[in-house]
Amino acid sequence: MDKKAPSKPMLARVLNGVKQLAIMLLLFTLFSAAIDLWRSKDIPTDNLPDLQAMTLNGNGVDVLAMSYQEPVLVYFWGTWCLVCSFVSPSVDIMASQYSVVTVAMNSGEDEKLSQYLKHKQYDFPVINDHRGRLAHDWSVNVTPTLMVIKDGELQFYTSGFTSLPGMWWRMLLA
């Protein structure tokens, strides 16, 4: 039996579906960018607050100083954040290739947070912001929030779900 080539109407429907999908993705991207711009309006791009602290592993970090060597991905998240449970694995992958500093907001005491990280097998550096002071200083009200800092300036800001390609793209453009 010979297989027939798809009929023109079927091909036209597939192409129309691809076109509609592309338009929806473009609109979603524009909408997301507009939301990020609106949410970041209160965050200065320069004269950023200090982010010097000790990680749970006892290592000192200074985000602004680090940013003069290479871009730094700063990730504000929480153990209680449902969306963070989808974003954190991508941040963990990024931490194996780039400078990453994470801030766990209101996620309990050090021991509890360390157990969570061990259970999830996350290796990224974590600053425990159990009182939310750092998040307040950085005007972060939404989790997850990701920022890319380069040469002491905020290059990119996004909140909500961010994909691994989205993180890579921002780090490469910084």
Q: Which residues span the domain enclosing 136?
A: 45-173
Total domains present in the chain: 2
Q: What is the pLDDT of residues 118-167, one digit of tens each?
A: 999 999 999 999 999 999 888 888 899 999 999 999 998 888 888 999 89
d(CA 84, CA 70): 25
Check residue 42 and give its pLDDT.
61
Residue 149 covered by a domain: yes
Query: Does 77 share its domain with 156?
Result: yes
Q: What is the pTM of this model?
A: 0.77
Looking at the chain, the whole-number percentage of residues with pLDDT higher than 90 is 57
Query: Does 72 share its domain with 34?
Result: no
